[in-house]
Structure 1
Amino acid sequence: MIKTAFITGATSGIGKATAEIFAKNNIRLILCGRRAERLAEIKVELSKLTEVTTLQFDVSKKEEVANAINSLPENFKEIDVLINNAGNAHGLSAIQDGNLEDWDAMLDINVKGLLYVSKAIIPKMTERNSGFIVNIGSIAGKDVYPNGNVYCATKHAVNALNKAMRIDLNKYNIRVSAIHPGAVETEFSNVRFKGDTAKAKSVYAGYKALQAKDIADIIHFVITRPYHVNIEDLVVYPTAQATPTILNKE
């Protein structure tokens, strides 16, 4: 039975939607993010349904990660499920025009951040011989599209790490799964286009994109299968999307 879930990137989008559905199903929550105000708001809201604690830290800062996780209250230290959801995209440029700061941000959060959080939590799972890790990837980890270069590289790394985790942790009875969404209408594009809301909105115009709740429903389904069942790799597109670049728009 799942009692406690640790969710990174819980202040918006897929992370927040996952926290909401978990709370409705009486799963104790450790919600992580960089925005203290949003974490506080979500804690107030979801504490009406389940026990909630929050950790404010940047997943790309290894000392912050370790210190935050070490500071967990005693009744939250036994983590049954880790949702590695924190991630971002910065820019959409050809490789020769790429911004080095954007590249660093994506590598630091999408790859190093996932590793830092996993490193802090996995040892206690191996001690107990139980646990579930869900890595939120992307279709960018399955295919490469024009101008996606470094973002696609980071999500290919998530795909590879997911496979490697499953092999290394198999003998400890730990389930490992990845979910790779297509176009999901969240703050993702607003971040990618650095606050250009018109450009961000155009990404989702003319078709019905996936919603954060759609992916949250799938995450909840995956983690609640009988323990002998591991849905190890799942790609999810909106019906209108055939590939990263082929969309049936009105």
Structure 2
Amino acid sequence: MADQTILIGVVHSQSQLHTPSSVRPASPSRPRHATVQATKPVHTYETGSAASSTTTMPADFGADQDRIRRLLRCFSGIAIAVLVVVAVLVLCALEASKAPRLSVAVAIVSGLDPATDLARPAVDPQFNLTLRVASRSLLSRACVGVSSTAVAVSYHGVRLASAPVAPRVCAARRKSADAGPFVAWGSSVRLPGFARDSLAADMRNGAAAFDVALMDGHLVVCRGRRVGDADALQAPCVLTHVETGAAVPHTGT
């Protein structure tokens, strides 16, 4: 009896060993959501066609940007070129509009001796003048005497002598040139009493100073020119905005 029991146990154990896996009882499956209960939140990212539709740029986007940059560079270059041209034109206009600087010196005076000439009722003075013209422009030279430039010499507002036409002289750009001496003269000039007495005193003291005016469309006044003062050529005359028109007639009869 005992042997039968042992045999049955052995057969039972072998039958368990040869049992197919397909008939083994399946292990209970865990819930699908149970695998993420203890994990951290997972950030999901869109992939596929949805993501590509939001991040993909048009194929010609870079070309458009390059075209815009080229246009901006072109417009900037044109604007700079226009500004340079305008600045050059303004500078040229300013340089061309600079009037020449004129100066006059009285070298010698005759016919105004206080003892003999000024004792008579009328005098016949003569002035040896030197004219200097200086160009202030970098673009053009300066000339005087091109048209009918008249010269007048006066003392305290009384005209004593004149020259119908000044000598022609031109100075190169930013240079100066002298003309003369040339003569302005007067004939039978009558002086008022106060001017005669004052001029006689100044001639005796060597302090006589004369005003020289140049008239060539505009009035240029050179005041206080003393006789024999060569430094007067360093003192520019004053250009006024008075239009003189035609040349003045000669002083005297």
Question: Does TM, normalized by the shorter one, top 0.5?
Answer: no
Structure-1-length-normalised TM-score: 0.20
Structure-2-length-normalised TM-score: 0.20
The structure with more helix, counted as a fraction of residues: 1
Structure having the higher Rg: 2
The structure with more strand, counted as a fraction of residues: 2
